[in-house]
A and B are shown apart, each in its own frame.
Chain A
Amino acid sequence: MAVNLEAGWREASIAGTIFEAGNSIEYITGTWRTLRPVYDAEACTHCMICWVYCPDSIVLVENSKVIGFDYDHCKGCGICAVECPVKVKAHAYTGQPGKVIQMVEETSFE
């Protein structure tokens, strides 16, 4: 059951106690982000280091391949970009040398 964000104080759960397990998926924390992780899909070796290290489990994986990030919940901490072990001469998105995952200013996106 989704949390009713318009609930008045009479309807809101007492003291904010939560009775549904796993409902943090409903809480959009991606808006906190100032830097966005962007990965170079061609150069990525799918080693899963970023998947292991991500504290918010936002690295999306399908059939053992990294397919992107859950930007609704990524807070932009940058741990994935630090831990990423694969180097590129020119990142597919940024054009910069460095890691497969690079952090990009959020303001540069539409």
Chain B
Amino acid sequence: MPKSKIRALDGAHAVAEAMRQINPDVVAAYPITPQTAIVQTFSNFVADGLVDTEFVAVESEHAAMSTCIGASAAGGRVMTATASAGLALMWEVVYVAASLHLPIVMPVVNRALSAPLNIHCDHSDSMGTRDAGWIQLYSENPQEAYDNVIQAVRIAERLLLPVMVMQDGFITGHGVERVDVLDDGTVKGFIGEYKPEHSLLDVDNPATYGTWDMYDFYFEHKRQQTDALSKALPAIVEVGEEYGELTGRKYGIFEAYGMDDAEMAIVVLSSSAGTARMVVRGLREKGVKIGLFKPRVFRPFPAKEFAEALADVKAVGVLDRSIVFGAMDGLGPGPLYLELCAALFAAGNTTTRVADYVFGLGGRDIIPAYVEQVAQDLAEIAETGEVKTPVSYLGLRE
């Protein structure tokens, strides 16, 4: 095992620490709650001379991502970080980064979107960009956020696709936990050097990026993006295994807890998996055949793998921390539920029943009692094979 140090860090500081160790060529970022601690801490590292990074203090998130795109096309290893309205303002150029196949890494500290104004956690921001062509990794705690950011550099540069690494605003971002921080040399060795095949600064081989594209080629270029994303999962798994060999913390595309003989499963992203795991553990001790299924990768959505992992489960309760407004007769299910239903249907699964539970919007707490309520619902669904309420809300005052 390489040298490492246990430190007390919140998720934002853990990510800033990872960024210090990655030592990107360029970071262009704008502060926004609850991501601020990342950019603020990293800019201190820049001011203290601890990194070689060119830090660009831009005037907006749109400018931040635009700067990242230019710097990445110029051949640099490039990062930014954002949240909520910042990601929303960035939206146009988030697409540009992906469609130009630029390996930009962007930590996102999940926060609700306005209105009303709210600074606390839900997944509306990153889920709003789920069709932009980025790889999306979700982290449960500061340790996973730290590990995912380091792996994201390798994944992005190998696939030539940008990667977003999510963690829950305040809950993870400002929650201090035990983080095993690798030593600088280990991180440097793991990520290696970035050697772009083409770059704007290679003056002997001039190239034009972001060209004009008509109906004669645009379609083909979009198809290239789906091709790149369709090859991403094996690469994400390989990098996760290599990271596991190095650190003892192996990463795949999902975590299954108590799923071996499970008849019921709770599916949830990020920090709420901790609450769900505790409830599942308690129910398991009572002999209830329930498991926790925590996706780490949401984009590309591992449809085949998830359908296979849930094939023998009778009842699945999906916990969604955002709403796809207008979907399913306007019932407002979440994106995780919709993607999972599509995956099961495409796999020909006609036996697994799925119910969606929207929770935690704008930072509303999820408490063990809510997860227990889901488990009770699932027991009934497993027995009757009938989903009475496809979409319900946890912790909402009626």
Contact = CB atoms under 8 A, between A and B. Distances in A.
Interface stretch (A1-9, A33-41, A85-93, A96-104): A1-9
Contacts of A7: 220
A10 B175 CA distance: 46
Contact of B207 (A8, A12, A18): A18
A25 interface: no
Interface string A11-28: 010111111010000000
B223 A5 contact: no
Q: Which 3 A-B pairs have the closest CB atoms?
A: A9-B220, A9-B223, A18-B208
A5 B216 contact: yes
Interface of B: 99-101, 160, 198, 205-211, 213, 216-217, 219-221, 223-224, 227
Task: Say what secondary structure dominates the interface of chain B.
Answer: loop
Nearest to B209: A17
Interface residues of A, number: 12
Contacts of B208: 17-18
Nearest to B197: A14
B69 to A, nearest CB: 11
Given A9-B220, A9-B227, A17 B213 contact: no
Given A5-B216, A9-B227, A14-B101, A19 B205 contact: yes
Given A9-B224, A9-B227, A16 B211 contact: yes
A73 B217 CA distance: 19
Contacts of A9: 219-221, 223-224, 227
Nearest to B73: A17
B211 A17 contact: yes
Contacts of A8: 220
Contacts of B220: 7-9, 12
Contact of B221 (A5, A12, A19): A12
Contacts of B210: 15
A15 B221 contact: yes
A16 B223 CA distance: 12
A15 B100 contact: yes
A8 B216 CA distance: 10
Given A7-B220, A9-B221, A9-B224, A15 B198 contact: no
Contacts of A5: 216
B206 to A, nearest CB: 5
A15 B101 contact: yes
23 contacts: A5-B216, A8-B220, A9-B219, A9-B221, A9-B224, A9-B227, A12-B217, A12-B220, A12-B224, A14-B221, A15-B100, A15-B101, A15-B209, A15-B210, A15-B221, A16-B211, A16-B217, A16-B221, A17-B198, A17-B209, A17-B211, A18-B211, A19-B207
A62 to B, nearest CB: 29
A17 B224 CA distance: 13
Nearest to B214: A27
Contacts of B207: 17-19
B99 A15 contact: yes
A57 to B, nearest CB: 17
A14 B225 CA distance: 9
